Amino acid sequence: MAVQWLLVCHGLVTLLVVVSFLCGQWPIFQGTFIQRIHFFLTFGAYDYFRRFVLFSCGSRGVDALHSAEYYCCDRPNPIIQLIYLLIIGTTYYIIAKSSFIYIPGYYISGIHRYTSFLAVGYLSAYPYDNIIFTEKECHTCKIPKPARSKHCSICDRCVARFDHHCAWMNNCIGERNTRYFMAFILWHFLICIYGIAALALILAGRLKDLQVVHILTVYYDIENSYRELAPLVLQWLLNSHNTQILVMVFLAVITMLLAGFFTYHAKLCLTNTTTNESFKWQEYLSWQTKVNEAKASAAALKASLGELSQEKKPPESKWKTFFSRSHLEEVEVVKNNIYDKGYLHNIYEIVAPFSTRRSFLLKKSKTG
């Protein structure tokens, strides 16, 4: 019973952390405990810990903390990573505590223990397009801003091919680590699939060992059909192995979220677009559409005034006027992404970024 309550609390805490971290700055949560949790996760917890180190160890302790922070994670505030490891560790503990006892054989059980433990633990070259990227200076770094880059306020540096700042990795996703970020998502997706499959096989083994279907059909005279047996078998599983069912539901939800996230970023990689650029393109296309509509409206008004100034013509048929195409319908804005050079080239650019290629390094050494 304690494991079930631990699972419920684990799910609620995970949901609260994710919602608070991602949505804590939304206006709807202003002044609520969600905003306060968001502040605690992003700034408060680490600030309190640093004050504690200063109080207990003095300035030398703070300097040692900064040195460890710089050499180990190279980013400030690793609180999110600690919470992430806590969530992963708790999920692993619940699965191990509730399900490993049903795996037949001591050695097989041991193999699953260690393999699952390892699975949890393993884890400017671009031209300016003069559309969404123009040659200008970074206001913070005071240097020429490369195309497709953006200054990250958290990392306090300009990031090449900036996609977004990932709090779970405590790093910006850019040119050199997009491949690792995609592998990070895919690996967690496969871990969740592995967990669901392993638990499903365990439950199937329990059904077979206890002969649940045989008992229902022989002793209770239940018809041997999926329609009749499925509700009864599901009811037995919920009564006897509710912890495993809850873990499977939790993993299934995480799997769907990871699948959607991976699909979205895979589409961006195939079109050689970043999350930052997708928002820029939306703003540009929206603005360009409004400009073109304004031009079309002005042209239509000018044409109407010209017709009025000419000699009076016989009126057009009502049907012809009804089916005539509006000038605004002719407005079309095309997304001209010069960085999209085909699926194969785009994938190769993710796997082997420009700045890591030998040709780029030789060119840079000659010019530098």
Nearest to 6 by CA among 79, 99, 97, 103: 97
Beta-carbon count within 10 A of 23 CB: 13
Active site residue 57: no
SS3 for the chain is CHHHHHHHHHHHHHHHHHHHHHHCCCHHHCCCHHHHHHHHHHHHHHHHHHHHHHHHHHHHHHHHHHHHHHHHCCCCCCHHHHHHHHHHHHHHHHHHHHHHHHCCCHHHHHHHHHHHHHHHHCCCCCCCCCCCCCCEECCCCCCEECCCCEEECCCCEEECCCCEEECCCCEEECCCCHHHHHHHHHHHHHHHHHHHHHHHHHHHHHHHHCCHHHHHHHCCCCCCCHHHHHHHHHHHHHHHCHHHHHHHHHHHHHHHHHHHHHHHHHHHHHCCCCHHHHHHHHHHHHHHHHHHHHHHHHHHHHHHHHHHHCCCCCCCCHHHHHHCCCHHHHCCCCCCCCCCCCHHHHHHHHHCCHHHCHHHHHHHHHHC
Selecting among 166, 172, 192, 269, the annotated active-site residue is: 166
Q: How far is CA 79 from the centre of its chain?
A: 19
Q: Which two three-digit tokens encode residue 177?
A: 């680590």
* CA dist list (Å): 166 to 16, 178, 202, 231: 18, 11, 35, 43
**Orientation angle between helical segments 242-270 and 2-23, nearest 10 degrees:** 30
Active site residues: 166
